[in-house]
């Protein structure tokens, strides 16, 4: 398989990707998806070693990267917190250098501290892929969300589409990365959350160039009006200390997605969620399992999208 | 290698397997065992993805499935509780769907709740293999026990053989699954435990059809009389809250297997244990290491038996 | 690749290796290093199964063995404490037998109890490699340290070289194994630690044959005088109960390696550390990142050295 040229060594966030680069990822991911469906063997990462270094527990993201890497012929090394010298207090920088000395070419890092992958990248000689850092960014999630929307929106374009992101925006790396890719793809993005969480996003919306459309509201009914797609964010109960969020019951009352509420959106509205879903909280079970729900497609698309990212990084000029 | 036709999509318990089906598994497992001994490469699961999803710690069962799957050319994904989003409270059903979206064709599930694999199977599009669920069932353990007995009983048949299962029956998924396969194979099965644990088993014995032989007793001497094989169950100290079992000392005095006690059995009596053994409790060290002890053969046979199961599920019509 | 004959079934410590055998390992490790640099595929362990059984957390040693084994074509099984039946209290001997019954040919064992790998080896039918046992030994670390010094000392020989090992000698398996290999290679080894930790080492030095050079001191300035290389040991804070060590501040004052202190050594002095480094404690950040620091080379050399060890064990006569 022929891989287009790529100029970035790392994937730390999506804010630095141009529209052309996003298109490159999307087009390559489509080809990866087809190759995978045809069980066509690929060896673009043959002889390369990819290590997943996860300081936070994860099933879907870790497995997705590992499946993607193996599908390209890479050797995969798994380092989880419970296995690692992290318990000995080894620093992130030392761990990065150690793993590279052991042969790692691509390091996939998840960390609870925002910015940790940037620190890792500064000391790495190979590539670093951010698999989620604190509240900051989750670039491959944003790319797979973009891919999923392109696949499912009629015409395959996001231009002018109204896409709502609703939930605990403040602590959401998924939302932050999606704002970049969705607005870059021409969508009209609406962020919706309790007012107390919206401050920074209003400033962000105001600062964007005129060709990027970002709107902020604390009124879900207004947000959903005519929406083409709605992305519900996970309530991170496990990161809940000192939260500005209301109680779960209040959250559901104000921001939970139900079939009734989705009446305000377009009839064919698409529903997304980065998972794991708290059914009955962010979305009702009915919404999660409705025809327009793309939740499992997002998971499935994660593999070819990550294959595309890994192939681009491995073949960079 | 030619694999016989098979009509089941899952392996959740052994109660639904006919005698012919048990024979099919046994015969294929013998062929797998020979192929493995000859280090003959097999690719019956090439291009397939098997995931072990273990909500309870295990070495032997998890590794056995993974070795079996790789021996058939499958890609193996390991998801253990310490690694997974289980800590985020993701539901079993969501985890199953997520893993399938990531490419899993066969899900091998261990769970502390009886029935969990049935729930998983109801929502799975691929195959689910029960690797042990609570007190309920451990089908591949029963199959490898059957295989081990066929290999070691003179004539290779269990018909009319007296096989004793002794220990904490109430909480034993191994015992429950073994009752089905051993009686189906024509053995005369004797269950032996403290009286307080026997109630349900007496009812079960009474309800069996006339061609299945199940006897229940709290007298170990009586149980062992003329036995061809004895299977000791593990005392599950880690699941011991509110146990009806006596103290360890009382248990050893009443139900521990010693050389002296085994005098009542046939001279060539075989001794089995699903492991891990608490030596000096369920069996003495002398018994565990005697010539008739099949404990390590059971472990070794687990690989070809699981290879057979996986090959049948993968090639089902 | 042609592998020299080898007569040992296990690698439990380095004290039993002759100078010729050390040379054999070193020469083969050099060839492995070149083959790896040329990404030359090797299949010396094809069809073999290697299991890492780690009762203590580790990143570098576990991953190093796994990368080495896969580079030789072996199947790798990972058993960590958090995954295993260790939590069920299964004995080490039973675990060894179980893993061998599951197909393991080479067992790589790390254990907090000194001597555990000897126990494992006594009951194993295949090979056991000690990946660190308590305070006792870490043979592959000593071999990779020897390899690293041969690569970097002018002329490639340790004969007559002054090599200082400084730190918590009492609890250091790395120091104990290095004393054997470094003195066997002809180096003049100087052990340096607080006086309270030195007793056993003075007796050891006195008992060595005349052609082995081991000197013991509690004076770092004296130890470093004219040194060719200095190996700092890790302060094992996590094993610190009842330590005879002074406080961290006192330790740094007396035994921490700084650029100023290293003035006493040769100008081109080499600095080593088995990792993970507590920067600012055993060595300053300046020393750790200076040109003479071999810390990452040690990690990188671990892979070809372990490849050599595994190839020798697998091909033993």
pLDDT band of residue C87 (cuts 50, 70, 90) is very low
Q: Which of B72, B223, A78 is nearest to C59 (CA)?
A: A78
CB contact under 8 A, A302 and B47: no
CB contact under 8 A, C296 and A83: no
Whether the CB of C95 is below 8 Å from some CB of chain B: the reply is yes
Chains that touch C (3 or more CB pairs under 8 A): A, B
CB contact under 8 A, C87 and B300: no
Give me chain B's average pLDDT, please.
93
Q: What does DSSP say about strands C49-54 and B270-272: parallel, antiparallel, or unpaired?
A: unpaired
pLDDT at B85: 45
Chain A residues whose CB is inside 8 A of the C62 CB are 83
> How close, in Å, is residue B135 to chain C by CA atoms?
17
pLDDT tens readout for residues B137-159? 999 999 999 999 999 999 999 99
Interface test with B, best of A40, A42, A58, A59 (most B CBs within 10 A): A59
Interface test with C, best of A48, A103, A105, A125 (most C CBs within 10 A): A103
CB contact under 8 A, B98 and A60: yes
Q: Decide if pLDDT at C92 tops 70.
A: yes
**Cβ–Cβ under 8 Å, residues B118 and B142:** no
Query: Nearest 5°: CA angle at A55, between C73 and C65?
Result: 25
pLDDT at C83: 45
Using a 10 angstrom Cβ sphere, with 0-12 exposed, 13-18 middle and 19 or more buried, the burial of residue C32 is: buried
Joined together, the tokens standing for residue A205 give: 């919306």
DSSP string, chain B: --------S-BS-STT--HHHHHHHHHHHHHHHHHHHTT----TTTT-EEEEEESS--SHHHHHHHHHHHHTT-EEEEEETTTSGGGGT--HHHHHHHHHHTT-SEEEEEESSTTHHHHHHHH-SSEEEEEEETTTB-HHHHHHHHHHHHHHSGGG--TT-EEEEES-GGG-HHHHHHHHHHHHTT-EEEEE--GGGTHHHHHHHHHS-TTSEEEEES-HHHHHTT-SEEEEPP--GGG-TT--S--HHHHHHHH-B-TTGGGGS-TT-EEE--S---BTTTB-HHHHTSTTB-HHHHHHHHHHHHHHHHHHHHT--
**Cα–Cα distance for residue pair B235/B277, rounded to 1 Å:** 9
> How close, in Å, is residue C214 to chain A by CA atoms?
31
pLDDT at C107: 98
**Cα–Cα distance for residue pair A104/A225, rounded to 1 Å:** 48
Q: Decide if pLDDT at C272 tops 60.
A: yes
pLDDT at B87: 46
> How close, in Å, is residue B257 to chain A by CA atoms?
38
pLDDT tens readout for residues B31-87? 999 999 998 889 999 999 999 999 988 889 999 999 999 999 999 999 986 544 444
- In this predicted structure, which of A72-86, A303-317, C294-308 has the lowest mean pLDDT? A72-86
> How close, in Å, is residue A185 to chain B by CA atoms?
26
**Cβ–Cβ under 8 Å, residues B49 and B214:** no
> Number of CB pairs < 8 Å for B and C?
72
Q: What does DSSP say about strands A229-232 and C127-133: parallel, antiparallel, or unpaired?
A: unpaired
> How close, in Å, is residue C217 to chain B by CA atoms?
45
Task: Find the mean pLDDT for residues B163-172.
Answer: 94
**Cβ–Cβ under 8 Å, residues C57 and C46:** no
Beta bridge partners of C191: C165, C216
CA A317 to chain centre: 25
Chain A residues whose CB is inside 8 A of the C60 CB are 85, 98, 102
Residue C315's alpha-carbon distances to B311, C2, C28, C131, in angstroms, are 33, 10, 13, 20
Q: Decide if pLDDT at C143 tops 50.
A: yes
pLDDT band of residue C235 (cuts 50, 70, 90) is confident
Nearest to C83 among B80, B279, B303 (CB): B80
Nearest to A238 among B49, B75, B88 (CB): B88
Whether the CB of A302 is below 8 Å from some CB of chain B: the reply is yes
Return the HEC string of chain A: CCCCCCCCCCECCCCCCCHHHHHHHHHHHHHHHHHHHCCCCCCCCCCCEEEEEECCCCCHHHHHHHHHHHHCCCEEEEEEHHHCHHHHCCCHHHHHHHHHHCCCCEEEEEECCCCHHHHHHHHCCCEEEEEEECCCECHHHHHHHHHHHHHHCHHHCCCCCEEEEECCHHHCHHHHHHHHHHHHCCCEEEEECCHHHCHHHHHHHHHCCCCCEEEEECCHHHHHCCCCEEEECCCCHHHCCCCCCCCHHHHHHHHCECCCHHHHCCCCCEEECCCCCCECCCECHHHHCCCCECHHHHHHHHHHHHHHHHHHHHCCC
Whether the CB of B268 is below 8 Å from some CB of chain A: the reply is no
Chain A residues whose CB is inside 8 A of the B75 CB are 67, 70
CB contact under 8 A, A80 and B79: no
Q: What does DSSP say about strands B162-166 and B188-192: parallel, antiparallel, or unpaired?
A: parallel
Q: Decide if pLDDT at B242 tops 70.
A: no
Nearest to A80 among B49, B83, B101 (CB): B83
Tell which wins on pLDDT, C76 or B245: C76
Whether the CB of A83 is below 8 Å from some CB of chain C: the reply is yes
Q: Decide if pLDDT at A169 tops 70.
A: yes
CB contact under 8 A, B47 and A39: yes
Joined together, the tokens standing for residue C145 give: 């340290």
Highest mean pLDDT among A74-83, C156-165, C232-241: C156-165
**Cα–Cα distance for residue pair A145/A194, rounded to 1 Å:** 23
User: What percentage of chain C has pLDDT greater than the value 90?
Assistant: 84
> How close, in Å, is residue C222 to chain B by CA atoms?
49
Q: Decide if pLDDT at C66 tops 80.
A: yes
CB contact under 8 A, A299 and B98: yes
The residue in chain B having the minimum alpha-carbon distance to the alpha carbon of residue A288 is: B94
Q: Which of A285, A241, A11 is nearest to A142 (CA)?
A: A11
CA C115 to chain centre: 16
CB contact under 8 A, A99 and C62: no
Chain A residues whose CB is inside 8 A of the B91 CB are 276, 279
Q: Decide if pLDDT at A242 tops 70.
A: no
pLDDT tens readout for residues B255-309? 999 999 999 999 999 999 999 999 899 999 999 999 999 999 999 999 999 999 9
Nearest to C276 among A49, A90, A99 (CB): A90
- What sign results for the dihedral spanned by CA atoms A149, A153, A159, A164? negative
Tell which wins on pLDDT, C1 or A257: A257
The residue in chain B having the minimum alpha-carbon distance to the alpha carbon of residue C101 is: B300
Interface test with C, best of B52, B63, B77 (most C CBs within 10 A): B63
Residues 6+ apart with CB under 8 A from C20: none
CB contact under 8 A, A91 and C279: yes
> How close, in Å, is residue A302 to chain C by CA atoms?
26
The residue in chain C having the minimum alpha-carbon distance to the alpha carbon of residue B65 is: C102
User: What percentage of chain A has pLDDT greater than the value 90?
Assistant: 84
Residues 6+ apart with CB under 8 A from B209: none
CB contact under 8 A, C39 and A47: yes
pLDDT band of residue C159 (cuts 50, 70, 90) is very high
Q: Decide if pLDDT at C31 tops 70.
A: yes
Joined together, the tokens standing for residue B127 give: 């195959």
**Cβ–Cβ under 8 Å, residues C105 and C314:** yes
Chain C residues whose CB is inside 8 A of the A49 CB are 67
Whether the CB of A90 is below 8 Å from some CB of chain C: the reply is yes
Whether the CB of A87 is below 8 Å from some CB of chain B: the reply is no
pLDDT band of residue A82 (cuts 50, 70, 90) is low
Residues 6+ apart with CB under 8 A from A213: A183, A187, A188, A189
**Cα–Cα distance for residue pair A114/B164, rounded to 1 Å:** 60
Chain C residues whose CB is inside 8 A of the B80 CB are 82-83
Chain B residues whose CB is inside 8 A of the A58 CB are 83-85
pLDDT band of residue A44 (cuts 50, 70, 90) is very high
Q: Which of C229, C191, C236 is nearest to C213 (CA)?
A: C191
CB contact under 8 A, B276 and C83: no
**Cβ–Cβ under 8 Å, residues B301 and B144:** yes
Q: Decide if pLDDT at C39 tops 90.
A: no
Whether the CB of C114 is below 8 Å from some CB of chain A: the reply is no
Q: Decide if pLDDT at A88 tops 80.
A: no
pLDDT at A83: 45
The residue in chain A having the minimum alpha-carbon distance to the alpha carbon of residue B104 is: A67
pLDDT band of residue C243 (cuts 50, 70, 90) is low
Q: Which of C61, C65, C138 is nearest to C106 (CA)?
A: C65
**Cβ–Cβ under 8 Å, residues B71 and B34:** no
Chain A residues whose CB is inside 8 A of the B101 CB are 296-297, 299-300
Neighbour-count burial for A70-81, b at 16+ CB within 10 Å, e otherwise = bbbebbbbbbbb
Whether the CB of A297 is below 8 Å from some CB of chain B: the reply is yes
Q: Decide if pLDDT at A86 tops 70.
A: no
Q: Is B225 left (phi over 0), alpha (psi -120 to 50) or beta?
A: beta
CB contact under 8 A, C89 and B299: no
Q: What does DSSP say about strands B49-54 and B75-80: parallel, antiparallel, or unpaired?
A: parallel
Chain A residues whose CB is inside 8 A of the C279 CB are 91
Whether the CB of B300 is below 8 Å from some CB of chain C: the reply is yes
Tell me what ipTM this predicted complex has.
0.93
Beta bridge partners of C231: C165, C272
Give the global pTM.
Answer: 0.94
**Cβ–Cβ under 8 Å, residues A178 and A165:** yes
* Range 128-157 of B in CB contact (< 8 A) with A: none
Q: Which of C306, C314, C14, C280 is nearest to C142 (CA)?
A: C14
**Cβ–Cβ under 8 Å, residues C105 and C127:** yes
Joined together, the tokens standing for residue C163 give: 């090599």
CB contact under 8 A, C80 and A77: no
Neighbour-count burial for C291-316, b at 16+ CB within 10 Å, e otherwise = ebbbbbbbbbbbbbbbbbbbbbbbee
């Amino acid at each position: 398989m022929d891989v287009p040229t790529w100029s970035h060594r790392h994937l730390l966030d999506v804010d630095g990707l141009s529209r052309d680069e996003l298109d490159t990822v999307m087009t390559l991911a489509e080809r990866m998806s087809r190759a995978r469906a045809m069980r066509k063997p690929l060896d673009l990462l043959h002889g390369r070693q990819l290590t997943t270094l996860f300081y936070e527990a994860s099933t879907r993201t870790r497995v997705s990267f590992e499946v993607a890497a193996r599908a390209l012929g890479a050797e995969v090394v798994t380092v989880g917190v419970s296995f690692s010298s992290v318990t000995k207090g080894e620093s992130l920088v030392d761990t990065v250098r150690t793993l590279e000395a052991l042969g790692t070419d691509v390091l996939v890092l998840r960390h609870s501290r925002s910015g940790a992958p940037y620190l890792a990248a500064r000391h790495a000689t190979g590539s670093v892929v951010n698999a989620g850092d604190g509240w900051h960014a989750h670039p491959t999630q944003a790319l797979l969300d973009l891919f999923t929307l392109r696949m499912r929106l009629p015409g395959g374009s996001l231009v002018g589409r109204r896409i709502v992101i609703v939930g605990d925006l403040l602590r959401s790396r998924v939302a932050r990365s999606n704002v970049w890719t969705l607005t870059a793809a021409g969508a009209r993005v609406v962020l919706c959350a309790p007012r107390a969480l919206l401050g920074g996003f209003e400033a962000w919306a105001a600062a964007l160039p005129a060709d990027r459309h970002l709107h902020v509201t604390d009124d879900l009914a207004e947000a959903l009006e005519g929406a083409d797609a709605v992305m519900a964010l996970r309530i991170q109960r496990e990161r809940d200390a000192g939260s500005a969020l209301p109680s779960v019951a209040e959250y559901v009352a104000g921001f939970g997605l139900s079939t009734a509420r989705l009446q305000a959106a377009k009839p064919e509205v698409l529903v997304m969620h980065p998972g794991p879903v708290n059914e009955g909280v962010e979305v009702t079970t009915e919404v999660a399992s409705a025809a327009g729900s793309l939740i499992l497609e997002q998971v499935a698309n994660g593999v070819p999208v990550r294959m595309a990212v890994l192939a681009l990084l491995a073949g960079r000029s």
